[in-house]
Structure 1
Amino acid sequence: MEAREGARRAGVVMAENSAADGESPVAIVTGAASGVGFATVGRFRARGTRVVAVDRDADAVALFSDDAGVAVVVGDVAEPGTADRAVAAAVDGFGRLDVLVNNAARFLLKPLVDTSLDEWDGLVATNVRGLFLFARAALPAMTAGGGGSIVNVSSISGLVGLANQVAYGATKGAIVAFSKALAIEVAGAGVRVNVVAPGTVDTPFVRVPLRALPDPDATMRAIAATHPLQRIAQPREIADAILYLASPEASFITGTVLPVDGGYTAQ
């Protein structure tokens, strides 16, 4: 009852008996209602990990309502209160915090000279400020529990130069630099920090911006052809990489960037 009341005060929606699985690990996943985030929640739950699913879409509440091992926090990752509520959901609701997956992001496909200040600020707020807020909020709970794992989702756009992605690529490159520095800073506290850098993934995140083009399907086929494996990734393939880096199987890995890109960055 105390755990549920703490979660209620934090503004968190939880299913009944959410602490029934006792001492199983607890992860926070941002951008959890679709694409890679949704697949990541599913993979964690398949492993028995309890999840705090964070998304700005209020429909996420209904999406996870049947799973007692998922608490939902609705909010913008760029707002400090969202990170605080998510950590409270993990600690007060589930009793611990072991993993943070910073996945929430915005995308922009536009030449730099056509990019507005509002678009730039929006990308930085979600993709970089959100990362900072959630890592800062999560670290005390992780270190109090003896350690943990942070997995930040970047992109091939943060590793190589891509036209019309200057603003987006800048935020994704910032994730790489942030993660490497943080990995060194918190290694002594038993917290590992790593990055997954996906190639193109078949999600609404990618498909929605393409709708404005004359032939979205042809564009998607052309994008697939730029990857040596001649296809784009499915969300679960990225989720599996996240799951690995978050797991004990990756216990000696920190400060690394794992491209999951069908060979794109090997060219």
Structure 2
Amino acid sequence: MQLGRLGIWYSPDKIGRAQGVADFAKTVEGLGYDTLWYPESRGFESFTVAGYMLGQTRTLKLGSSIASIYARDPFTARRGMISLNELYGDRFILGLGVSHMPMVEGVRGHTYEKPIPAMRRYVDGITRDQPGSETWPIALAALRPLMLKLSADMTRGALPYNVTPKHTAEAAKILGPGKWLAVEQKVTLETDPAKARALGRAELSRYMVLDNYRNCWLGLGFTEADLANGGSERFIDSMVLWGTADKVKEGLRAHFAAGATHVAIQPVHPEGDTTTRDAIMKALADT
């Protein structure tokens, strides 16, 4: 499987109803995006919603971003990935992640293990003694160097989330040539600074309390002050590209210049405003 240049990252939970999910997938496909990435949500089971969206489209790839390793055992993940690809023409990418302690222990009732050993065991459980598994469309949510290295050693590549072009450049060096580096980037076409940053802070608020992201941001040169009170302007402007389409495209191209092989655009918009969401995707489809 080849991964194209541009994708969309969006949660079906923001849509809710089945027909809306189908219509959204068709819109993404119609705009020419290569892949639609979606999270392990509370509303839709990951593999089920992938199958539904694959069934509503013809060429669009669907990528879990991510499917939690605590949600299903490696055998089930393997069979789910293989089944979706056999049923829908090799259009499913299995993105895996270790998730976060509150989701693992608080929501699922599992014990959150050390990320690197846990992920290594899980991927090994999927691929061990499986002919051709080195080409399977598996990639890992990876932020720090050790997980990026594991992505390169055991899968097709990495799926960094909430990062900057500086991180993309560092990740590209660790992954090396021939690996996927599919970077998520939040965007809005709001040109009013106060409104754009308010949208950004609302979107980022759920991540600001998670240690995995905070540690990554601190490693990228942000300070505790940048992460306080909803995020400094410097931090928000780095995490959510805003402004005219040309300005946002320039920010997206910075990831490619840093070594990204794919950029997944996440539209940021007022809650429920699907018109603005779709306008963002349309305006950026030719980046």
Fold shared, TM-score > 0.5 on shorter chain: no
* TM-score, normalised with respect to structure 2: 0.36
